[in-house]
Copies of this chain bind each other. A is one copy, B any other.
Amino acid sequence: MTTISLIYLKLVALHQSITMENKRTEIKEIGEFGLIDQITKEFKNHHDSTIIGVGDDAAVIDCGDKYLLLSTDMLVENIHFDLSYAPLAHLGYKAISSNVSDIAAMNGIPKQVIVSVGLSNRFSVEAVEQLYEGIRFACQDFKVDLVGGDTTSSPSGLVISVSITGEVEKDKLALRKGADEADILCVTGDLGGAYIGLQVLSREKQVFMSNPNMQPQLENYQYIVQRQLKPVARMDIIHELRDLGVQPKCMIDISDGLASELHHLSRHSGVGFKVYEDKLPLDKQTYDTSVEMNIGPVTTAMNGGEDYELLFTISQKDFEKLEKHRDIHFIGYASKKENGLKLITKGGNEVEIEAQGFQHFS
């Protein structure tokens, strides 16, 4: 591809859409992870400082005394958010928080962010200021510095791309791999709230659209709506684990749902997991709203994404250090790989855990 081929260019000018049809595999056929495997398999690294590239929550780069962490997320309007119920300030906050969560998932400390936005002309300066007010609040909360970005026009919706740096002492790095059999499986906070909050917001939007005189009824859903619109990355837990002298053996953040993240930990660490239904932490509002909406609470807890809680394993020897922690829950343990991923129901049955994470491509 060293020179422009005129023949190719003509082909493009005439038939780019047609040539794409010659052999056409839909992205949904292989899924997001299949696509990433496919497009990155030919890449080779040139630098010894690149310790870990594609495949964990953040890249790991050797930077002398410490590791530099690097991660990114792209948020696209009407895929990741709906501006008819997401205030721009909360959206800005969430864009930073979800990136901070990727650094937390490496047991690292976030440092700098760069933020690019694509804006259609329906956005005024005041609207962009609201977005950046939320970004600024998050930067204060998580002590990260905004150091750059790009601001451009977009023909249709809003696009936000955030990249983040972090750092971690070399002996504190936590990856998706590293779990051993008999490790205790831990999760922070509670599960499924962000997902069920989204269901409520969608429902109220439908009600409002069919009858604009109806006011959205959100009084009874404040906690779960907040979980959806303004999730908080668990940097508090990262600092507490350090204070308590606990090194997670493996770690990931819950962006696509517990089941999906368990599959990642299992695949990278080469272990299976047993998870106990009665140990799954659900907030009462999450539970009640799940029932109200005819969604099984266990399904909500297992497959609801965007909670940005941390999922990790610890050695049994560290158990007593965390035993009385108010917000870390012990939901199971790592087993032999061949035992697979099993949910132990309240009735004592073993059920296969299938990953049903959020599918972008449909």
A-side interface residues, number (CB < 8 Å) = 123
**A129 with B74, Cβ < 8 A, contacts A10-B218, A144-B46, A147-B50 known:** no
From A108-116, A286-294, A307-315, A330-338, the one touching the partner chain is: A108-116
A285 at the interface (CB under 8 A from B): no
A18 at the interface (CB under 8 A from B): no
Beta-carbon contact of B222 and A4 below 8 Å = yes
Residues of B within 8 A of A61 (CB): 111-112, 147, 165
From A153-161, A187-195, A259-267, the one touching the partner chain is: A153-161
Residues of B within 8 A of A273 (CB): none
A244 at the interface (CB under 8 A from B): no
A134 at the interface (CB under 8 A from B): yes
Determine how close the nearest CB of chain B comes to the CB of A91; give it in whole angstroms: 10
A270 at the interface (CB under 8 A from B): no
Beta-carbon contact of A116 and B73 below 8 Å = yes
Query: Taking the full assembly, how many copies of this chain does it contain?
Result: 2
Complex-state Cα separation, A44 to B148, whole angstroms: 13
Beta-carbon contact of B148 and A79 below 8 Å = no
A133 at the interface (CB under 8 A from B): yes
A360 at the interface (CB under 8 A from B): yes
Which one of A49, A61, A83 has the greatest number of beta carbons of chain B within 10 Å? A61
A340 at the interface (CB under 8 A from B): no
Name A's interface SS.
Answer: mixed
Residues of B within 8 A of A42 (CB): 136
From A32-40, A172-180, A298-306, A345-353, the one touching the partner chain is: A32-40
Beta-carbon contact of A361 and B153 below 8 Å = yes
Complex-state Cα separation, A361 to B155, whole angstroms: 10
Complex-state Cα separation, A147 to B125, whole angstroms: 34
Write the chain B residue with the least CB distance to A50. B145
| B interface footprint on A1-40 (CB within 8 Å = 1, 0 otherwise) | 1011010111011101100101111111110100110111
Complex-state Cα separation, A165 to B315, whole angstroms: 35
Complex-state Cα separation, A357 to B4, whole angstroms: 26
**A9 with B361, Cβ < 8 A, contacts A46-B143, A132-B39, A147-B50 known:** no
Chain A interfacial positions (CB closer than 8 Å to B): 1, 3-4, 6, 8-10, 12-14, 16-17, 20, 22-30, 32, 35-36, 38-40, 42-47, 49-50, 52-54, 58-59, 61, 63-65, 68, 70-74, 76-80, 83-87, 89-90, 93, 111-112, 114, 116-119, 121-129, 131-134, 136-137, 139-140, 143-157, 159, 161, 163, 165, 204-205, 208, 212, 215-216, 218-219, 222, 225-226, 229-230, 360-362
Show 29 A/B contacts (Cβ-Cβ < 8 Å), sorted by A.
A4-B229, A9-B225, A13-B85, A14-B208, A14-B212, A14-B216, A23-B126, A24-B124, A27-B119, A32-B152, A36-B149, A43-B139, A46-B145, A47-B145, A50-B147, A53-B145, A53-B147, A59-B112, A63-B63, A68-B165, A72-B161, A73-B150, A74-B118, A76-B154, A76-B155, A152-B360, A154-B159, A156-B157, A161-B161
5 additional A-B pairs beyond A4-B225, A72-B148, beta carbons within 8 Å, are A14-B212, A40-B146, A72-B116, A153-B360, A163-B163
